Structure 1
Amino acid sequence: MVKQNDSWGSRTGLILAMAGNAVGLGNFLRFPVQAVQNGGGTFIIPYLVCFVVMGIPLLFTEWSIGRFGGKRGNHSTPYILDSMSKSVWWKYIGVFGIFTNIAVVAYYTYIESWTFLYVIHTVIGTFTQMSQAEVSSFFVQYVNLNGSNFGIPYLPVLVYILVLGINIYILSTGLGGIEKVAKIGMPLLILFGAVLAYKGWTMGAENASAAFPEANAWDGINFLWTPQFNSLLDPKVWLAAAGQIFFTLSVGMGSIQCYASYLKENEDIALNSLTSGFTNEFVEIVLGSAIVIPIAAGFLGLDWVIENAGFGMAFQTMPYLFMQWGEVFGAIAGICWFGLLFFAGITSSLAMGTPWMGFMQDEFGWGKAKGAVSFGILAFVMGLPTILFYQYGYFDEYDYWAGTVSLVVFALLEMILFTWVFGMDKGWSELNRGADIRIPEVFKWIMKYITPLLLLLVLTSALITPQGNDWVGAVSGLFDGVGWKLDSGSLISKLTHDDLKLLQLNDPQNGEIYEKKIFFSTLARVQLLALFLFIVSLVWYSGIKRKSISHE
C-alpha cells in the first residue's frame, strides 16, 4: 500500500466540496418534478421527515465510516468497510462504493455535456426565434443523434469526450483541484440560482399568454408550499420522498466516505456533515423549487405544469420560456440556468472519481494522473453506449440499476455495518470525537433502529410495488384471494422486462422498437454486471497483495 499525502486545504473547501458532491442535477431537475408528481405540498412533509430520520443519519454514518477508514490508510469503500469488521466479505460489499460512481458518472457526464452545449447555444442565440415545439424537437434530435449539430456528425459524442476530459484533468490535480473548483463553482451556482429564483418569485400574472391567460407563477409556488397532512398516510409519497433523499444527498455511493477519509483524526465530522447537508437542502428547497415550476407556471399555467412535469422540461421547455423575457435577459437567464446545471453536475461528477483513484493509489501505487485517466477510460467505455443507444433505454437502465437500486442496497448494508456490526456505541463515539456540537441522543436510537428499518422498507417497497401504487387495494386483494399484482415499475417487473412487455402489448404497431429496447436493456445490465465483477476481481487481487506484503 502507498501512504496517502493528499488532504483538504481548508474546512471551507472541504464543506464546499462535500456540498458540491451533494448539490447536483437532482436538486434542480428531479426535486421539483418529484414534488409536482406527488401533489406539491403533499410531498413536503414526508420529504422533510425523511431528511431528518434518514438523510441526516446516513450523512453521520458515511462521514464517520470515511474518517475511521482514513485513519488506517484506506481511501475507498472496500477497505474502509473491511477495517470495521473481521469478516472478509465486507470489502466486497464495499465494491458498491466504486462501482456505483463509475456507472453513474458514465451517463451523468452525458447530462453535463448537454448543459455545456446549451450554454453555447444560448450565447449564440440558437433558441431566440424557436417556437416551443422547435426547442423540444431540438433536444430530441440531439439525443437521438438525428441530423448534425453545427454541421458536425456525432457531436454529442465529441462534447461528451470534451466534458469528460475536463473532469479527468481536474481529478488529476488531486483534492486541491477539486477544492478550487468547489470554491468557484458553488458560489457561482448559488448566484445563478438566486438570479433565476428571484425572477421566479417576482413573476406575477403579467407573463401569461393568450393561450394561457390565467397563468401565474405564484400558483406554482403555492402548489409546492401548501402542506397537505393527508399525505402522511400515502405510502407512494413516502417512497418518493425517501428516494429523493438519496439523490439529493449523494448517500449510498461511496464518494462521501472517500472525501471523509482524507480528514484529520479529530476533524469535526458532526458539524461538517450537517453543514454540507443543510447547504444542499437550502439549494434544493429554496432555489430548486423556485425556478422550473414557478417560471413554467407563470407562462404556461399550473395545469400545464402538472400535466407535463418531467426531466425534459429543463432542456425542452425552459430555453423557450427564457426567450419570452426578451433576447438580452433571455440569454442571461439561459446562461444562468445551464451554467448552474453545469456547475451542479461537475462538482458531483468530480466526487465520483475519487473512490476509484483512492483505491488504485492505495492498492496499486497509481499516481493521480494515471488514476484519473484510467477512471476516464472506464467512464467512457461505460458511457459511450448510453449516447449511441439513448433512444433504446440504455441511459435509463444505468440510472435505474446503478443510480437508484444500488444506492439503497449499499446504504442499507453500511447502516447495518456501522450500527450493528461495528457497534452503535463505538460508532457514536467515532461520530462525536472532535465535535464542536452536541448531537441529540435521540439520533443514536434513530440511526440504530429507524433508519435501517426505513431503508429496508424502501427497498422492499420498490421490489414489490403493487399495481398503480395502490398499497391499500393490494393488501385487500391479498386477503380477498386475488393475489398481489405487481406494478410495471416494481423492481421485479423491471428485472423481468415486464414493464417493456406491457408497453409492447399495448402498442403492437411499434413492437420492433420494444424488442430493441429489451435487447439493449439486457445488454446494459450485462455491461453493468461486467463492471461490478471487474472491480470485485481487483479487490480480490489487492487482498492477495496485502497478505503477501504482511508476510514479508
Structure 2
Amino acid sequence: MSSKSPAGGEQWASRIGVILAVAGSAVGLGNFLRFPGQAAQHGGGAFMIPYFISLLVLGIPLCWAEWTMGRYGGLNGFNSAPGIYSTLWKSRWARYFGAIALVVPLVIYMYYVVIEAWCLGYAIQYLTGSLMKEGSNAEVFQTHFDEFVGADANGALFQSRRLGFLVILAGTFIANFVLIYRGVSKGIETFCRVAMPAMAVLAFIVLIRVLTLGTPDPSKPDQSVLGGLGFMWNPDFSHLSDPQMWLAAAGQIFFTLSVGFGIVINYASYLKRKDDVVLSGVTACSVNEFFEVCFGGLITLPAAFIFLGAAAGSQGTFDLGFKALPNVFAQMPGGRIIGFLWFIVLFIAAITSSISMLQPVIAFFEEGFGLKRHASAAMLGLVSALGCGFVLYFSEGMVALDTLDFWVGSVLIIMLALIQAIIYGWCFGIERGAEEAHVGAHMRIPHFVQLMLKYVVPVYLITIFAMFCWNNVPSQDIDVATLDANVVAGLQEGELGTTLLATLAAHDIEAPAGSKLVSDGSDWRIVDADDALLIKLSGGEDGVALQRHKAGYYENIVNNPVALASVLFIAIILAFLLLLVHIAGRRWETEGRLTYP
C-alpha cells in the first residue's frame, strides 16, 4: 500500500520549485550550444520537423512515464531507480537495470563538471578583460582553448602554470556538493528558484544585444541579423531523407528533456500523492523548449554568422561555444560585457544540470545502505573526484571526455530510455500507469499516448539505437571519385607530392599537416602523423577509387589506448554499482521492503 508522502523524509516545498528543478536539470549546454549546431548542420528549419516529431513521439510521453513511475516509487518507499524499478516490475532483475540509471548521471557528472569549470573560467577571463586582449584572430582563440583545457598533452593541466584552472574546478566541484548536501528542498529547489529566472534574464539581455547588431560590416551585407536568423531557420527540405538528421533530432530531445538520464524519475519520487505529474511534466517540457528554441536558437548561431559567415554552421559544440563565440565577442561592440554574461549563462545552465546528476546516486546510498546525507555526499564525492581526475589527466585531444560522452551520454541514455519504456508499458502496464498518472491531475493523458508508450516508443527507440550504431560504430570507406589510372603511377612512400595534393584539393579534401603516403600492396593509403588512415587509393581496370576513410568508434577505441581505458573505466564503474545494487537489494529483501510474487 502506498503512502501519501514520499520516501526518505524529503519532499519538494512547492510545485513551481520542482518544475524549475526538473527544467534546470534539462536546460544545459545542449540547449545553448548543441541545438543550434545540430539545426544548422541538418537543414536549418527543416531540422525542426523531425525534432518536433521526436518531441511528441518520444520526449513528452517518456517524460510523463518518468514522472509517473518516480512518484509511484517514492510513495512506495524508494527514491532511487533500483528500488523504483523493483516496485514497478516485481522481479529481482529489475533492480540491476536500475544500476544503469545510476551510472549514467554519475559518469556524465565526472566530465560535465569539468566543462562547467570551463564556463566559469571563461566568465572570469571576460570579467578581468584577459580574454579580450587575445585579439580577434581565430587561431588565437583555438590555441587559447586548447591550452586552457589541456588539449595539447595528457597531464598538461597538472603543470604549475595551469593551476588556476584546477582552483576554478575545485571551487565548482565544492559548490555542487554544498548545494546537494543541503538536500532536495533547501539545496536543489532553493537554488533553482533563483538560478532559473536569473539565467532567463541574463540570456534575454544577450539576446537583445544580438538582435540589435544589425549589419556590423557594411562590406558584407549578407552577414546581418536577418541573415543569421535565416541561416539558422530557413528550411532545406532535402535533408529530410537523411537518416542521420532523424538520429540527430531524436538525440537532441534526450538532451533537451533529460529523458533517459535517471534524473526525472528520482526528482519525481519526492512528490506527494496529490501532486499533478501530468501538468507538471508538460510545464517542465515547455520551459525546456523555451530556453532551447527561443534562446539557444536565436543567440548562438545568428551571432556567430554575423561575424564569421557560413563557416559558423560547421562548428562543433565546443568549437562554437569556446572558440567561435569568443572570436565574435572580440569583434562585437561591448563584447567584453556580453561575453561575461554569456558564459555566466552557460555556467548557471551547467550547474543546475550537474547538481541533478548527483541526487540519484545520493538517494541510492541513503536508502540502500542507511547512510546519512553527509556520509553519502562524502562517498559520492570521492568516487566522482576519481573520475574527474581521470578526465583531467587524459586531456589530450579530449579523447577521454569524448569517449565517456559517446558511450554514456549517447548509447546508455538510449538504452535506459528503452528500459524505462518497457518497464512502464509492459511490466507496470499502461492501464495502471494511466490510473496512477491521473491521481491529482488537472488534465488527462490521451489514451493513444499510453498505446504509444507501449508499442511505438520501444520500436522507435530500437530503430534509433540500431541506426545510431550502424552509423557510428563500424568504420566506413566513403567513395569520393574515380580517378584515372595514371594518378598512382610514380607514387612513392613518404610526403605527399604536389600533384597528389592538387588532386585531393580538386575533390575538397585537405590533408592535415604531417600526412604521408604508404603502400598497401597494389593500393595506396594516406595516413596522418599518428598513422591513422585518412584516404584510400585503390587501383582497378576502370580507374583508381578515391575513398575517404571514416573511422568508427570501434576502430577509434581499439587504436587509442586512452579511449580503450575510458571504456574500461565505464565498465568498472558499472560493475561497482551493480555490486552495490545487489547488496542493497538483498538488504531490502531482508527488511521486507521488497517482495516478489
Q: Which bracket does the TM-score occupy, shorter chain normalised? A: 0.7 to 0.9
Quickly say closer, same or farther: Cα 1:222–1:252, change in 2 above 3 A: same
- 1:306-349 alpha-carbon deviations (Å, 9 max, x no partner): 344543221112123223233xx222211211010011001011
Superposition pairs for residues 60-75 of structure 1, below 5 Å? 60-75=64-79
Alpha-carbon distance in structure 2 between the residues aligned to 1:543 and 1:156: 41
**Structure 1 residue 94 displacement after superposition:** 0.8
- Which structure's relative contact order is higher, taking Cα pairs within 8 Å and 6+ residues apart? 1
Contact map agreement 1:217 1:299 (CA 8 A) in 2: no
Change (3 A) 1:468 1:459: closer
Shift of 1:111: 0.3
Matched, 1:323 2:365: no
Match for residue 393 of structure 2 among 381, 388, 401: 388
Show the 5 A alignment for 1:49-198: 49-130=53-134, 131-132=136-137, 133-144=139-150, 152-175=161-184, 176-198=186-208
Give CA deviations for 1:394-452 in whole Å, capped at 9, x if unaligned: 01111001111000001001101101111111111111221111223321222222211
Q: Which amino acid aligns with 1:259?
A: Y
Question: How far has the Cα of 1:150 moved from its partner?
Answer: 12
Counterpart of 1:527, as a letter, is F
- 2:179 is matched by which residue type in structure 1? I
CA distance 1:173–1:148, shift in 2 (3 Å): closer
Deviations 1:272-308 (A, max 9, x none): 011001100010001001111111111122x221344
Q: 2:430 aligns with which of 411, 424, 430?
A: 424
**Percent identical residues:** 32
Give the letter aligned to residue 188 of structure 1.
A
Deviates more, 1:335-344 or 1:432-441: 432-441
| Greater strand share, structure number | 2
| Superposed CA offset, 1:441-476 (max 9, x none) | 321222222211111111011122289999xx9xxx
Q: What SS does the aligned partner of 1:92 have?
A: helix
Structural mapping, 1:396-475, within 5 Å: 396-465=402-471
> In structure 2, which of residues 543, 563, 571 is the aligned counterpart of residue 521 of structure 1?
563
- Judge conservation of contact 1:203–1:218 (CA < 8 Å) in 2: no
* Counterpart residue number, 1:492: none
Residues 208 and 300 of structure 1 are in contact (CA less than 8 Å); yes or no, is this contact kept in structure 2?
A: no
Return the letter of the residue paired with 2:189. Answer: E
Q: Which amino acid aligns with 1:159?
A: I
Instruction: Specify the alignment match of 1:537 in structure 2.
Output: 579
**Preserved CA contact (<8 Å) 1:196 1:291:** yes
Amino acid at match of 2:530: N
Is structure 2 residue 347 aligned with structure 1 residue 345?
A: no
How many angstroms does 1:229 deviate by?
Answer: 4.3
Partner Cα distance (1:277, 1:346) in 2: 19
CA 1:217–1:167: 2 relative to 1, 3 Å:
same
Task: Please give the secondary structure, in 2, of the residue aligned with 1:153.
Answer: helix
Question: Which structure has the bigger radius of gyration?
Answer: 2
Deviations 1:131-170 (A, max 9, x none): 2322221111112266889974344333222211110111
**CA contact 1:254–1:355 (8 Å) conserved in 2:** yes
Amino acid in structure 2 at the alignment position of 1:403: G
Shift of the 515–184 alpha-carbon distance from structure 1 to 2, 3 Å rule, reads closer
C-alpha separation between the residues in 1 aligned to 2:408 and 2:159?
33
Q: In structure 2, do the counterparts of structure 1 residues 272 and 203 end up closer, same or farther at CA, with 3 Å as the change threshold? A: same
Q: Using a 3 Å threshold, how does the CA distance of structure 1 residues 154 and 389 change in structure 2: closer, same or farther?
A: farther
Q: For residues 259 and 300 of structure 1, do their structure 2 counterparts lie closer, same or farther at Cα, with a shift above 3 Å needed?
A: same
Deviation of 1:221 after TM superposition, in Å, equals 1.0
Q: Does 1:266 align with 2:308?
A: no
Q: Does 1:10 align with 2:17?
A: no
Bigger shift: 215-224 or 393-402? 215-224
Letter in 2 for 1:314: G
In the alignment, residue 442 of structure 2 is paired with which amino acid?
A: D
| Separation in structure 2 between the aligned mates of residue 305 and residue 547 of structure 1, nearest angstrom | 56
Deviates further, 516-525 or 25-34? 516-525
Mapped partners of 2:313, 2:15: distance in 1: 42
Looking at structure 2, the residues matched to 278 and 233 of structure 1 have their Cα atoms a distance apart, in angstroms, of: 28
Contact 1:157 1:384 in 2 (8 A): no
Aligned residues: 512
| Deviation for aligned residue 1:234 | 2.9
Long gaps (5+) in structure 1: 474-504
Residue 530 of structure 2 aligns with which residue?
Answer: 510
The worse-fitting range, judged by mean Cα deviation, of 232-241 and 532-541 is: 232-241
1: CA distance between counterparts of 2:132 and 2:238?
Answer: 44
The answer to whether the 8 Å contact 2:36/2:296 transfers is yes
Structure 1 range deviating more: 353-362 or 194-203:
194-203
1:509 aligned counterpart, secondary structure:
coil
**Paired residues of 1:322 and 1:334 also in contact (CA < 8 A):** yes
CA positional deviation for 1:354: 0.7
Match of 1:215 in 2: 223
Distance in 2 between residues matched to 1:382 and 1:468, nearest whole Å: 28
Partners of 1:150 and 1:383 in 2: how far apart? Answer: 17
**Alpha-carbon contact 1:218-1:298 (below 8 Å) kept:** no
What's the CA shift for 1:267?
A: 0.9
Seen in structure 2, the aligned counterparts of structure 1 residues 199 and 161 have a Cα distance that, compared at 3 Å, is: same
Contact 1:209–1:300 (8 Å) recurs in 2: no
Q: Distance in 1 between matches of 2:203 and 2:379?
A: 34
Task: Sort the Cα spacing of 1:294 and 1:510 in 2 relative to 1 into closer, same or farther, 3 A.
Answer: same
TM-score (norm 1): 0.88
Q: 2:279–2:441: 8 Å Cα contact kept in structure 1?
A: yes
SS in 2 for 1:435: coil
More helix by share: 1
Amino acid at match of 1:464: W
Offset at residue 547 of structure 1 (A): 2.8
Partner in structure 2 of residue 496 of structure 1: none
Q: Deviation per CA, 1:344-379: give whole Å up to 9, x if none.
A: 001011111111111111121212222222222211
**How far did residue 380 of structure 1 move?**
1.2
Q: Tell me, in whole angstroms, the C-alpha distance in 2 between the residues paired with 1:228 and 1:24.
A: 27
- TM-superposition CA deviations, 1:458-514 (whole Å, max 9, x none): 1011122289999xx9xxxxxxxxxxxxxxxxxxxxxxxxxxxxxxx7424223998
Cα distance in 2 between the residues matched to 1:58 and 1:444: 10
Distance 1:148 1:262, change over 3 A: closer
Tell me if the contact between 2:301 and 2:313 (Cα under 8 Å) persists in the aligned partners: no
Q: CA RMSD in A?
A: 2.5
| Residue equivalent to 1:487 | none
Amino acid across the alignment from 2:565 = L
Distance 1:421 1:549, change over 3 A: closer
Report the Cα distance in structure 1 between the residues aligned to 2:59 and 2:291, rounded to whole angstroms.
15
Q: Aligned-pair distance for 1:223? A: 2.6
Alignment of structure 1 residues 334-373 onto 2, 5 Å = 334-373=339-378
